[in-house]
Amino acid sequence: LTTARDMFDAEVCELLLFNSDGTQGRDVRLEGDGASIAATKLDFEDVRLDPREGVWARVAAESRGVLIRDASATRAGEGPIGRLAAGALSVAESKSDDTAARVLDYYRGRGVKAAMVAPLRVEDNVVGTLLVGNRRGSTAAWANADLTLLETLANHAGVAIENSRQADELAHQRDELERSATHDSLTGLANRTLFRRQITDGLATKQPGAVMLLDLDRFKEVNDTLGHHNGDQLLRQVGARLNRLRGAKMSVARLGGDEFALLLEDTPNVDDVSAAVASLLAAFDAAFVVQGVTVHVEASVGISLYPAHGNDADSLLRRADVAMYQAKHGHTRYQIYERQSDPYSEARLALMGELRRATEQGQLSVVYQPQQAADSGEIHSVEALVRWHHPQRGELPPDEFITLAERSEIIHPLTRFVLERAIEQSAAWARDGLDVRVSVNLSARNLHDAGLATDIAAMLERHSVPPSNLELEITETSIESDPRGTEELLATLHEMGVGIAIDDFGTGYSAFSYLQRLPVDEIKIDRSFVMGMEADERKHQIVRSTIQLGHNMGLRVVAEGVESELAQNELTSLGCDVLQGYHIGRPMSADMCGARLRRAAVSRPRVLRQSV
Ligand code: C2E
Ligand code: CA
Ligand code: CA
């Protein structure tokens, strides 16, 4: 515009840029002579374009320059607007005097008397117009040569504008690409790539921080019942809630599926981490509404701290994942990573290798914990519990190696080992005249083991043990992980006559609906409710209503973790059927358990009881 102004001594210069459909434009107007900055005015204005109005329409339509000789005083016989370049066409000569009048009105309204307008061309399209108006200090109007010059200038401007437009476009495309490569399209949050980069940046600051991995509980269920579309809807809402936690120190990402992650930077204080976790979990307090359906969603959070738990993004993410897995399975809602319980830590990997050989080398054994009938004090059943006698580390509790086995294929031979031992033992006791049912724990993975039912049938047959003398304990959580798969296996086993118990009852999130679908015989109230129920009214209530629930569904109810006489008495008066716990008897060797069974049988002979 300044070049045009100086070249043509114009008072006013205007650049009008059209949008693609020609209905709207952007007007850039330069006024003043540039002698002083104050006197120079540059205006930007978005204008509506009426195609019947303004010289630009002519210019655009004809793609040629137009000369307006004098918009204020029209001399008779001479058109006020002339096309003086190639075709020497003037508006007055053109078909529509109407158009000419309107054009003049338009410019008069804008304070323009004499003017030249040239098209801005990009390739073959007119994308705008360049106008110079009101020749300064001269009464002589602009001539043909001036218009040609303006057209040339406009051509250069067109190229320049197009270049910058393309540069903008490219920058925009680059931004979009960058965005889609680093952001999740569903929630708009950072994706795994960006999140890893953010962790790396966080590590580089040398300030401590935390990586928090969050996984929705039972999201699969929501997806299955409400459909994928609504599942996506829910994820978007979760993403939006988490996004509100974002701040200077907190980044939020969606890593995929129902897995989200947060990075907490510059937090040397563990209390800050706790506060962040609390606000993270609080984000799930209110229910979500998807398609009018209220959905309560809970989440499990795993946390790794840096630099304590790693100094690269991948190991921090992996460790947060290990902690998240533990939070999920321990129902603790959140968990900070602990090296000693990491199944993938070096020590644990070594242990896994050793566990593989332990079965073959006879390092595993099975102990038995008696289960006593609450009313009669008789012992009709025992629970088989595995033990590992590690050559260097001594006896290891199952909690230290079962989770390890469960995360690998080792759980299959391990379960078969315990089953074989327990069934063998039941046969041995039967030969001694002791009729006991043995319970064996199954892991979630066992429920996907297609060959398990046939193998169990073969073991029972091999040792001539009636299927009713075997019971299998499964947890609510393993049912939740795959309700359909579980159904089939349990149906098969139940048809064979094998008993089914729900272990750790009350710790899952289930709405108990599976109790109607699955062939369950028994529920085992989790020991966390039983231990201390004497002194805790809430626990007492839970135990009481669980017993009622079980009985209403025609199930046998077992209480685990009976540690005192008081608890035993309370449970008995609440109508609990079977008691198991340290107060009744600790897990013990088969020999000791046999002796215990014999004593129980002698002290309370069944024949006697029946005759009473
Ligand atoms: P669980 O199935 O709930 O087994 C009961 C656990 O509670 C046993 O721990 C038992 O020793 C303990 N317990 C029994 N009475 C009391 C009591 O009065 N107070 C307290 N505080 N604890 C009591 P254990 O043997 O350490 O087993 C722990 C878990 O390991 C078991 O929990 C079970 O989930 C798993 N497990 C044990 N053996 C096997 C197995 O052969 N296969 C599988 N898959 N899991 C097993
Ligand atoms: Ca059990
Ligand atoms: Ca249990």
* 334-381: pLDDT as tens digits: 999 987 777 667 777 778 888 888 887 889 999 999 999 999 999 999
Q: Whose CA is nearest to atom 25 of ligand 1?
A: 385
- pLDDT of 112: 78
Highest mean pLDDT among 249-258, 342-351, 508-517, 598-607: 249-258
Least-confidence region, from 158-162, 278-282, 283-287, 319-323? 158-162
Lowest mean pLDDT among 159-168, 205-214, 316-325, 382-391: 159-168
Q: Residue 449's pLDDT band (boundaries 50, 70, 90)?
A: confident
Residue 71 has a pLDDT of 52
Kindly state the average pLDDT of the residues 108-118. 80
Decide if pLDDT at 481 tops 50.
yes
Cis? peptide before 587, omega within 30° of 0: no
What proportion of the chain, given as a percentage, has pLDDT over 70?
85
Closest CA to 207 of 252, 272, 274: 272
* Ligand 1 mutation pick, 385, 408, 505, 526, max ligand atoms within 8 A of CB: 385
Q: Dihedral of the CA atoms 557, 563, 566, 572 (nearest 10)?
A: 20
Please tell me if the CB atom of residue 399 comes closer than 6 angstroms to any atom of ligand 1: yes
Kindly give the number of the ligand 1 atom that is closest to the alpha carbon of 583.
Answer: 18
Per mean pLDDT, which range of 86-100, 101-115, 139-153, 357-371 is the poorest?
A: 86-100
pLDDT over 80 at 484, yes or no: no
pLDDT score of 170: 85
C-alpha 104 – ligand 2 centre gap (Å)? 95
What is the model's pLDDT at position 608?
44
Cβ(123) – ligand 1 distance below 6 Å: no
Q: What's the 291 CA to ligand 2 centre distance in angstroms? A: 40
Whole-number pLDDT of residue 573:
97
Average pLDDT, the chain: 84
- Residue closest via CA to ligand 1's atom 27 equals 398
Q: Tell me: pLDDT of 89 over 60.
A: no
Q: What is the pLDDT of residue 101?
A: 63
**Is the predicted pLDDT of residue 59 greater than 50, yes or no?**
yes
Is residue 455 within 6 Å of ligand 1 at its C-beta? no
Atom number, ligand 1, closest to the C-alpha of residue 405? 44
Q: Which residue lies with its CA nearest to atom 3 of ligand 1?
A: 504
pLDDT score at 192: 93
Single-letter amino acid, residue 80: P
Residue nearest to atom 15 of ligand 1 (CA): 581
CA of 526 from ligand 2 middle (Å) equals: 9
Closest ligand 1 atom to residue 442 Cα is: 44
Task: Give the position, in ligand 1's atom list, of the atom nearest the Cα of 406.
Answer: 44
Residue 248 predicted with pLDDT over 80: yes
Segment 197-225 shows an average pLDDT of: 91
* Nearest-10 crossing angle of helices 452-462, 483-496: 20
Q: Say if ligand 1 is within 6 A of residue 402 CB.
A: yes
Instruction: Establish how many alpha carbons lie within 13 A of residue 130's alpha carbon, considering only the half-sphere containing its beta carbon.
Output: 24
Q: For strand 499-505 and strand 115-122, is the pairing parallel, antiparallel, or unpaired?
A: unpaired
Other beta carbons within 10 angstroms of residue 55's beta carbon come to 28
> What residues contact residue 380 under an 8 Å CB cut-off, 6+ apart?
371, 373, 435, 436, 437
Q: Over range 55-69, report the average pLDDT.
A: 70
- Order the strands of the 250-256 sheet from edge to edge: 250-256, 259-264, 209-216, 299-306, 334-336
Name which of 64-73, 139-148, 282-291 the model is least confident about.
Answer: 64-73
**Ligand 1 atom having least distance to the Cα of 397:** 26
- Distance from residue 371's CA to the centre of ligand 2 (Å): 11
Confidence (pLDDT) at 145: 85
Whether pTM > 0.75 for this model: the answer is: no
**3-state secondary structure labels for all residues of 397-446:** CHHHHHHHHHCCCCHHHHHHHHHHHHHHHHHHHHHCCCCCEEEEECCHHH
SS3 28: strand
Residue 403 Cα to ligand 3 middle (Å): 15
Does residue 398 line the site of ligand 1, with CB under 6 A? yes
Separation of CA 504 and ligand 1 centre (Å): 10
Ligand 1 mean position, distance from CA 407 (Å) = 18
CB 346 within 8 A of CB 353: no
| 384: nearest Cα among 412, 416, 361, 359 | 416
**Of all atoms in ligand 1, which is nearest to the CA of residue 473?**
2
Ligand closest in space to the Cα of 531: 1
Pairing of strands 115-122, 66-68: antiparallel
User: pLDDT tens digit string along 262-305?
Assistant: 999 998 888 888 899 999 999 999 999 988 888 889 999 999 99
Distance between Cα 439 and ligand 2 center (Å): 8
Nearest CA to ligand 1 atom 41: 386
Between 3 and 214, name the one with better pLDDT.
214
* pLDDT, average across residues 415-436: 96
* pLDDT average, residue stretch 107-124: 80
Mean pLDDT, residues 466-476: 95
Cβ of residue 585 lying under 6 Å from some atom of ligand 1: no
